[in-house]
Amino acid sequence: MKFRFLLWMLGRLMAKASRTNPEFQQQLAGKDLVFQLHTLDGKMARHFIVKDQRIVSKRGVASAPAFALGFKDATYGFATMTAKNKQLAFMQGIQNKEIQIQGNPALVMWFQGLMKYLMPKKKSAAKKAA
Domain boundaries, the chain: 2-129
Domain 2-129, second-level architecture: 2-Layer Sandwich (3.30)
Q: What's the whole-model pTM score?
A: 0.84
Res 116: pLDDT? 84
Do 55 and 18 contact (CB within 8 A), yes or no?
yes
Q: Tens of pLDDT along the chain (130 residues)?
A: 899 999 999 999 999 999 999 999 999 999 999 999 999 999 999 999 999 999 999 999 999 999 999 999 999 999 999 999 888 999 999 999 999 999 998 998 899 888 888 876 655 545 555 4
Query: CA-to-CA distance for 45 and 39, rounded, in angstroms?
Result: 6
Res 120: pLDDT? 65
Res 122: pLDDT? 57
**Neighbouring residues of 2: CB distance < 8 A, sequence distance ≥ 6:** 74, 75, 78
Res 119: pLDDT? 72
H-only helix segments in 21-81: 22-28, 74-81
Res 87: pLDDT? 86
